[in-house]
């Protein structure tokens, strides 16, 4: 049975009966996509300005990616990592070329299936290095409050959101959290047991918070001083979204380890952890593994995504489109601040406006975005979004905010 043959009520009933309720579903079931457009089970069209949480950066059903997947599915879907395949090393070389250009040092990749797994790899790697060279107590990792690094137990422990820890306590030990942008707090937390600092350049799930100017550079210096690794989580920001291939390129800081996922497969699950060669060499056969990591289908999708991004000059397009979107949002009634980089933006709403309710009203009018906090909306459209689509999304949000203001006055 194909999902496209079912109506919304049937899809929702099946979901309630057979799928764990780990997400608070909104009342829409998407069954088809093309570019920046989505269609639901009832045939209604939407503008997608969330991209599956910054995943479909080339848009839905990109023909080059679809063709590559179909071709690879007829060639070879999967073999064990006990053997070589002909796609994974080509993808590794392509990512290494991008990161070597950005960092100034060569490295190697480990391939996984998600951002959480990429971060899990990074944490294991820096702990391996820290304990090997600094002793058994050198395994602590410092990250930032309001950060988000995943929902496995280890990456949840690294995530600086204590409210997410309570249900699953006790958390794995060895993680410390300091305020984002507080260099003094970080310095105080970095004793001889700390092997690494793990940071986002832009805290996506934390509210689209951009690191203060000069902060990453100062963290890099502090890591060098304390002989700790700098790990940058680029799961949401990587691969063009912020107007550079990687968000850390907006700074003068060169990390030792970089994690990525989301946009890498344009919807096909794949993640990657890149590390400088000296750090990557800390792993020996058997130290880390995953059955599906870098398998031919996912690797072929990612390789094609990178080829299209390069051909389309995706980072440059994101920078230009992001400026247009930011300007449009800043001019809307009820928006007090626009923050972010490129096409990862948050619109902070004035007191009295509920971001959750606003996002729901936008959905009702055919615009997909989300409330990243109770007071802020997140917008992350495909990097190939058109000017007309940007203007249409801004107009829809503007109409929703105008209606909300009118109701406030009437109330």
Phi, psi of 122 (to 5 degrees): -60, -40
Distance (Å, rounded) from C-alpha 84 to C-alpha 227?
35
Phi, psi of 150 (to 5 degrees): 135, 175
Residue 285's alpha-carbon distances to 83, 139, 288, 314, in angstroms, are: 13, 21, 7, 36
Distance (Å, rounded) from C-alpha 126 to C-alpha 306?
27
Distance (Å, rounded) from C-alpha 150 to C-alpha 171?
13
Please, are residues 382 and 57 in contact by the beta-carbon 8 Å criterion? Answer: yes
292 is an active site residue: no
Q: Give all strands of the β-sheet with 140-144 in edge-to-edge order.
A: 107-112, 271-276, 257-260, 229-233, 194-199, 140-144, 175-178
233 is an active site residue: yes
| Active-site residue identified among 233, 246, 248, 256 | 233
Please, are residues 145 and 180 in contact by the beta-carbon 8 Å criterion? Answer: yes
Contacts (Cβ under 8 Å, ≥6 apart) of 275: 107, 108, 110, 122, 125, 256, 257, 258
Q: State the angle between helix axes of 387-410 and 355-364 in degrees (0 to 180), rounded to the nearest 10.
A: 120
Please, are residues 223 and 276 in contact by the beta-carbon 8 Å criterion? Answer: no
**Span between the terminal Cα atoms of the chain, in Å:** 48
Please, are residues 137 and 106 in contact by the beta-carbon 8 Å criterion? Answer: no
Please, are residues 154 and 117 in contact by the beta-carbon 8 Å criterion? Answer: no
Contacts (Cβ under 8 Å, ≥6 apart) of 352: 408
148 is an active site residue: yes
| Active-site residue identified among 148, 175, 246, 283 | 148
Q: State the angle between helix axes of 296-312 and 314-330 in degrees (0 to 180), rounded to the nearest 10.
A: 70
* Catalytic center residues: 148, 233, 262
């Amino acid at each position: 049975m194909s999902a496209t043959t079912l109506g919304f009520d049937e899809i929702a009933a099946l979901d309630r009966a057979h799928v764990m309720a780990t997400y608070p579903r909104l009342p829409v079931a998407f069954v088809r996509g093309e570019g920046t457009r989505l269609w639901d089970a009832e045939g209604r069209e939407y503008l997608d300005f969330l991209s599956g949480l910054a995943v479909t950066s080339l848009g839905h059903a990109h023909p080059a990616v679809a063709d590559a997947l179909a071709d690879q599915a007829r060639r070879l879907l999967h073999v064990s990592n006990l053997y070589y395949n002909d796609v994974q090393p080509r993808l590794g070389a392509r990512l290494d070329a991008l990161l070597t250009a950005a960092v100034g040092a060569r490295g190697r990749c480990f391939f996984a299936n998600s951002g959480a797994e990429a971060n899990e790899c990074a944490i294991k790697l820096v702990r391996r290095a820290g304990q090997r060279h600094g002793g058994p107590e050198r395994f602590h990792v410092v990250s930032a409050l309001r950060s988000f690094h995943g929902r496995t137990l280890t990456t949840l422990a690294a995530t600086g959101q204590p409210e997410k820890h309570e249900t699953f306590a006790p958390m794995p030990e060895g993680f410390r959290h300091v305020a984002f942008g507080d260099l003094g707090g970080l310095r105080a937390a970095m004793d001889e047991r700390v092997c690494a600092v793990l940071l986002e350049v832009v805290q996506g799930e934390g509210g689209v918070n951009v690191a203060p100017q000069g902060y990453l550079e100062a963290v890099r210096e502090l890591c060098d001083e304390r002989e700790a690794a700098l790990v940058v989580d680029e799961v949401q920001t990587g691969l063009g979204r912020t107007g550079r291939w990687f968000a850390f390129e907006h700074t003068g800081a060169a990390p030792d380890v970089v994690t990525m996922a989301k946009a890498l497969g344009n919807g096909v699950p794949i993640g990657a952890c890149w590390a400088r060669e000296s750090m990557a060499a800390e792993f020996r056969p058997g130290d880390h593994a995953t059955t599906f990591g870098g398998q031919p289908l996912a690797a072929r999708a990612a390789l094609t995504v990178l080829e299209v991004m390069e051909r389309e000059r995706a980072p440059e397009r994101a920078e230009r489109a992001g400026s247009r979107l930011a300007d449009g949002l800043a001019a809307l009634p009820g928006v007090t601040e626009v923050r972010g980089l490129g096409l990862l933006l948050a619109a902070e709403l004035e007191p009295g406006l509920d971001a959750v309710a606003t996002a729901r009203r936008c959905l009702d009018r055919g615009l997909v975005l989300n409330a990243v906090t109770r007071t802020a909306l997140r917008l992350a459209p495909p990097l190939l979004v058109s000017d007309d689509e940007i203007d249409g999304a801004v107009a829809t949000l503007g109409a929703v905010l105008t209606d909300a203001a009118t109701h406030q006055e009437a109330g």
